[in-house]
Amino acid sequence: MGSSVPPSSVVKASGSLPQTFKPGDIMIEEDPYACSIDGSYLGIVCSYCIRRTSGVRCPRCNAVNYCNNECKMKDSGYHALECKVLQNARGNKTVDGEMRLVVRALERSIRERQAGFESVGDYFGHRRTFRDLLAHLDKLSIEDLATARELAMTLFNLIKGQIVTTIEEILVVIGKVRINCHALIDHNSPHAFVRGRAVYLAVSKMNHSCVERNYVQIFDGRRYTLRAIGDVEVTNPFTLTIHYIPPTMPLKIRQRRLLKAYYFVCTCEKCVWQTKHPEQAEVDDNLVRQIETAFEGRNSYTKWYTIGNEFLNELKYLPPSNFYVNWLLSQMQWTCKEIGLHEESIYYGTRALRGTESILTLERIFYGMCESMVVLGWNQPGHANHGGFLEALKLTKKLYELTHGKRHSIVVSLDIMVEQGKAPAQSADSTPGQAAPTCTHSAYMTVQLPTLYEVLCADDRESSCEYQFPMFFKTDETIIEDDPYANSMSNDCINRFCSYCYTEDVEIMCERCNILGYSNEEYQSKDKVDHDLECKILQSLSKGDLSNVELQSSCVSLGRQRKHRVRATSFKGAGPHNKYRAYAPRIVQQHGPGDVMIQEDPYACSIDQDLLGVMCSYCIRKRPGVVCSRCNVIKYCNAECEAKDKLFHELECKVLQSRTDEDIVDKESRLVIRTLDRCIRERREGYDSVGDFFGYRRTIHDLQTHVQDMTESRREKASRRSKFIYGLVKDFTETSLKQVFEIFLKCRLNKTSLIDHNSHRFYPCGSALYLAVSKMNHSCVETSYVQIYDGRKYTLRALRDIQVDNPLALTVHYIPPNLPFVQRQKYLLQNYYFICNCAKCCWQARNPEVEADESVIAQIEESFNSSPEYNAWYAIGSDFLEKLSNLPDSNFYVNWLLIQMQWTCSMLGRLEESVYYGTRALRGTEVVTSIETILFHMCDSLVKLGWHKPTSDKYAGFCETMKLAKKLFLLTHGSNHKLYRALESMQKSGEVSRHYGHQAGDYRGNRLTYTSGAPVFGHGIDARYGQPYLRTNAYAPSTAQLHGASPWQIYPSGSCIPLQTRIHQQTTSRPWLNPGNTIAAHCPAARGFNRSMLPVSSAYQQPVPIR
């Protein structure tokens, strides 16, 4: 009990960054903070080094064994409390390997605390102690927490009197061990058995990903090693990932296990790709349970041979890459080797190879194949299959030398196979005296196997597999180069690239179908045979038949009957998810608060229908003074803007001239027409506009349509809409219905709402298509940067210090992030074809919140549809807030009502009430731009109340509100912006805002809305959500429609009302929102911000409403 505990030994992980590692280099080495071996190995494996067989037993507990007295002495500091527990718990099955690991970790943490020091793990300069490990007890369900507490009480009763601790401390250690422990794999054995589990301080910093990386984890007994298997440059160590669970498991099982055990939903490249491209077939859940039950039954090898064949026969429709099929093949390889069916063992091994991604699994399978080949005598120089053995052995040695080192015992054993031709002894688990079953795969009994690669290609006897089978690669090295049996080009690329080489531009067209093009006559001649039947099919289709959007894919299997040579594709790793990675120059950019991260002009843009007469259609900033003399619809602020917009407006102008009712040509149609016009002009002139997203170059051709993900009904609606637009433009330009359909889908999926950030109410004023910005994915979590629109120009501005080393991790909101969870997911799935797995959605999926009653929501929408006057809305809004009084201010509908009440009271002169409702709205808001507009209106009301005067007793509250508003606008807009200057004017002279920036709203009357229309709780499906605004002039679903009750419908145009989103009142109440994303972090001048900075005088208390 009095022995000292040595500190954790971190051999290698620190150093300045970046660090570069070559194949075989050690990236991290670490000894465990605590480790324990499984109960089944207690008597045969040393409990300290976990390498050699045991020979010395602990005389006190009579359970733990060591290889010698030296290991016994080294383990005395870790085993003391465990020894007492084992003595007190003889026969108690609760004290398993996990509980013994908890005891060891608990003892070490208490002893170090008493001694006044802590073991430290160094993760590339990031120091971690046991206190830094997370327990996630707050995320446990009631049942799981009760089970964990019961185990803590059991351990407490076993150790009380031995060490001073509490049940709560034991419970925390249990949580930390479960979240952070690693399986101890015996990599000194070629069969890689799991011997136990361990907790490492530094390595626990690594997150999870299902994608294979250029490094592997190797366990040399108790020591952990992270070894590079390719060129690796570590600039940001937090991007290094490992597997928490087997990455080849089916997607839904992986996600379920990660959520249950580690409390997150994985959104790595592989999971995202598999979400969009679900497997056609998976193993039935009942069959999975049967397989797991059979394996847990510890059947003999002979019985497992029969069981395994039966399972594989039931799963013969699945490929070897399926997790359960591949696992069964690996077990069958091992089983056949143990019972002497070595030819069949090689057969199952080669099948398992074809479905394996992990380099550690590959080397294990190859080693087993080499063992069987030695038993069969293939290592003898005179054997017919000696060449195949040498190739397999050479590759196996390369793999083990890369992952274990050239002097490892396994590498030495491979040399012995060649020199002596001796196979390793059979496992002790074999059942002697049993007759081996007859091999059913007679094709693999023959010795006519000149090379290993014919074994690998055994399922395709007519193919000649000429390439090597590399298992480790350098950066950007080609992994596989092969000619396709059949191929087709996506419709997006038919008119852009040669249909034979897929790389060069089109110069000549097929004279028969006039659809496919080629770069030269040579390639057209080479493609003639394969294109023949396809060409006939294409000729039979009507020119504009939209039902054949996927025409090439549908006829390719009929029309192309031979292989094609295509340029080799280089990609890292293996598996389909890696084929979809975009490559760009590595960048690391630092941005400080207020810095511009991205700035981009739109490819095309159009303003709202009801703003055509009040905003310039080009700069989207100033009031128009010049009208287009041809269409007499589009207006500009001056002749300069008219000249700049001439090229974009040309086709639109002709369409508007041909229509007597310009309302038919709505905003979405005009955006499609402008995009189509620019696309046709650029193709005619031989160039493409390019958007640069941190090195990722994007053109209009790179934008996605997701036509393959659309339901039949939505595709039909899009088709009808495209036919309408095609009818508008067909007389004025050379285009096709197919091209209009493609442009229409690209615009609908990728466009963004244009927000008038030159107005203090931040009105939505149109839609725009940006090439670079369309690369950004969606998240419902607030970020450390903000989108600002200066007219047509898009700006992404940092709110705090940001390092961009992976631009694809930057996200925006496609929809308002405070919509109820179910509505958000349905909306994203129906319109953007994915399910959001952000931190916020994962938390809300596990912790559903109370939402507003459906009937009340319907009443709110109905009332808002009627466009009530402000006096009427004052009474209506008060009633609705009373009905929703059981919900917090952060609720979507409550917060929306508070915003409307703030504006309504301001317009009615109820200034103190306006400030009150604004203050409540602030407490439910987490978006910086929403906070800005609320604070601006509050400052406006406070000035009108006279609080800006130093003689006012409310002057201090006004100063605090004005100070925060100015800081936020300075950060997001800059000191030269007119809104910032307007705040300064308020503060200095008391001049109220009235028309500061009221460009989109100057024509308003005395009603809450100015044309009839339904309230839209979201931005509508016509554009990505740009900022938090409520709009009534978009395609938008009602609440019932979001639940699928009725189809989408178009609401009439109308004015725009600001929409707000949530903020957590305490960081812990909204775990998806990082502490760094609070207002204090957004505004460097406001660091240390808390709610006391907001005005809290008596005027902010609930006033008596005047009915």
Yes or no: say if 667 and 606 are a contact pair by the CB < 8 Å rule: yes
Q: Is the pTM of this model over 0.75?
A: no
Q: Where are the domains of the chain?
A: 10-243, 248-278, 285-456, 482-567, 589-812, 852-1100
Q: Which of 148-162, 483-497, 563-577, 1092-1106 has the highest mean pLDDT?
A: 148-162
Yes or no: say if 1024 and 1000 are a contact pair by the CB < 8 Å rule: no
Average pLDDT over residues 608-628: 86
How sure is the predictor about 623, in pLDDT bands with cuts at 50, 70 and 90?
confident
Give the whole-angstrom CA distance, residue 1094 versus residue 934. 12
HSE-CB of 127 using CA atoms within 13 angstroms: 4
How sure is the predictor about 1090, in pLDDT bands with cuts at 50, 70 and 90?
very low
Average pLDDT over residues 562-571: 29
How sure is the predictor about 663, in pLDDT bands with cuts at 50, 70 and 90?
low
Yes or no: say if 306 and 437 are a contact pair by the CB < 8 Å rule: yes
**Neighbouring-strand partners of residue 215:** 228
Can you spell out the DSSP letters for 1003-1053? T--SBS-SS-----SS--TTSB--SSEEESSSB---HHHHTTSS---BPPP
Other CB atoms within a 10 A radius of the CB of residue 583 amount to: 11
Give yes or no for residue 881 having a pLDDT over 50: yes
Q: Give the pLDDT of residue 200.
A: 95
State the helix-helix crossing angle for 359-375 and 342-353, rounded to 10 degrees.
Answer: 160
Residue-wise pLDDT for 330-366, tens only, equals 999 989 998 989 999 999 998 898 888 888 888 899 9
Give the whole-angstrom CA distance, residue 861 versus residue 857. 6
Give the whole-angstrom CA distance, residue 684 versus residue 681. 5
Give the whole-angstrom CA distance, residue 739 versus residue 543. 12
Q: Give the pLDDT of residue 491.
A: 57
How far does Cα 728 stand from its chain's mean position? 40
Give the whole-angstrom CA distance, residue 421 versus residue 891. 74
Can you spell out the DSSP letters for 264-325? -----HHHHHHHHS--S----HHHHHHHHHHHHTT--HHHHHHHHHHHHHHTTTS-TTSHHH
Give the whole-angstrom CA distance, residue 771 versus residue 765. 20
Of 289 and 1059, the structure prediction assigns the larger pLDDT to 289
Give the whole-angstrom CA distance, residue 47 versus residue 37. 6
How far does Cα 218 stand from its chain's mean position? 28
Q: Of the ranges 358-362, 389-393, 1016-1020, which one carries the lowest mean pLDDT score?
A: 1016-1020
Q: In Å, what is the CA distance from 805 to each residue of 207, 235, 777, 812, 855?
A: 17, 9, 16, 17, 47
Yes or no: say if 283 and 315 are a contact pair by the CB < 8 Å rule: yes
State the helix-helix crossing angle for 342-353 and 323-338, rounded to 10 degrees.
Answer: 160
Give the whole-angstrom CA distance, residue 778 versus residue 754. 17
Yes or no: say if 705 and 631 are a contact pair by the CB < 8 Å rule: no
CA nearest 742: which of 774, 794, 700?
700
The runs of H, that is alpha helices, within 801-927 are 821-832, 839-846, 854-865, 870-883, 892-908, 911-923
**Cis amide prior to 816 (ω within 30 degrees):** no
Please enumerate in sequence order all residues whose Cβ is within 8 A of that of 114, keeping only pairs 6 or more positions apart, or say none: none
How sure is the predictor about 899, in pLDDT bands with cuts at 50, 70 and 90?
confident
Options 3.20.20.70, 3.40.50.720, 2.30.110.10, 1.25.40.10; CATH of 285-456: 1.25.40.10
Q: Which of 218-227, 702-711, 945-954 has the highest mean pLDDT?
A: 218-227
Give the whole-angstrom CA distance, residue 933 versus residue 929. 6
Average pLDDT over residues 599-618: 89
Give the whole-angstrom CA distance, residue 250 versus residue 246. 10
Of 484 and 147, the structure prediction assigns the larger pLDDT to 147
Give yes or no for residue 104 having a pLDDT over 90: yes
The fourth-level CATH superfamily of domain 852-1100 is: Tetratricopeptide repeat domain (1.25.40.10)
Q: Give the pLDDT of residue 20.
A: 92
Q: Give the pLDDT of residue 297.
A: 73
State whether the Cα torsion 843-844-846-847 is positive or negative: positive
Exposure letters 1019-1058 (e unless 16+ CB within 10 A, then b): bbbbbbbbbbbbbbbbbbbbbebbeeeeebeebebbbbbb
Residue-wise pLDDT for 686-706, tens only, equals 888 989 888 888 899 989 888
How wide is the angle at C-alpha 422 spanned by C-alphas 420 and 426, nearest 5°? Answer: 165
Q: Is the fold of 285-456 the same as that of 852-1100?
A: yes
How sure is the predictor about 223, in pLDDT bands with cuts at 50, 70 and 90?
very high
Ranges of beta strands (E only) in 62-193 are 65-66, 121-123, 126-128, 181-185
| Distance between start and end Cα atoms, the chain | 77
How sure is the predictor about 845, in pLDDT bands with cuts at 50, 70 and 90?
confident
Other CB atoms within a 10 A radius of the CB of residue 722 amount to: 22
CA nearest 652: which of 638, 632, 637?
632
Using only the alpha carbons of the chain, give its radius of gyration. Answer: 34
Ranges of beta strands (E only) in 707-806 are 752-756, 763-769, 777-778, 785-790, 793-798, 802-804
**Neighbouring-strand partners of residue 34:** 199
Yes or no: say if 248 and 215 are a contact pair by the CB < 8 Å rule: no
Q: Give the pLDDT of residue 1102.
A: 34
Residue-wise pLDDT for 760-811, tens only, equals 777 788 999 999 999 999 998 888 889 999 889 999 999 888 888 888 889 9
Average pLDDT over residues 857-876: 80
Can you spell out the DSSP letters for 912-949? HHHHHHHHHHHHT---HHHHHHHHHHHHHHHHHHTTTS
How sure is the predictor about 977, in pLDDT bands with cuts at 50, 70 and 90?
confident
Give yes or no for residue 215 having a pLDDT over 70: yes
Residue type, 155: L
Q: Give the pLDDT of residue 793.
A: 92
How sure is the predictor about 234, in pLDDT bands with cuts at 50, 70 and 90?
very high
Q: Give the pLDDT of residue 470.
A: 31
* Sole residue written with tokens 């690996």: 330
State whether the Cα torsion 943-949-950-954 is positive or negative: negative
CA nearest 129: which of 200, 50, 37?
200
Give yes or no for residue 459 having a pLDDT over 80: no
Q: Is 104 helix (H, G, I), strand (E, B) or coil?
A: helix
Q: Is 844 helix (H, G, I), strand (E, B) or coil?
A: helix
How sure is the predictor about 541, in pLDDT bands with cuts at 50, 70 and 90?
low
How sure is the predictor about 93, in pLDDT bands with cuts at 50, 70 and 90?
low
Backbone φ and ψ for 696, nearest 5 degrees, come out as -85, 110
State whether the Cα torsion 157-161-166-170 is positive or negative: negative
Q: In Å, what is the CA distance from 11 to each residue of 180, 183, 200?
A: 20, 20, 13
Residue type, 341: L
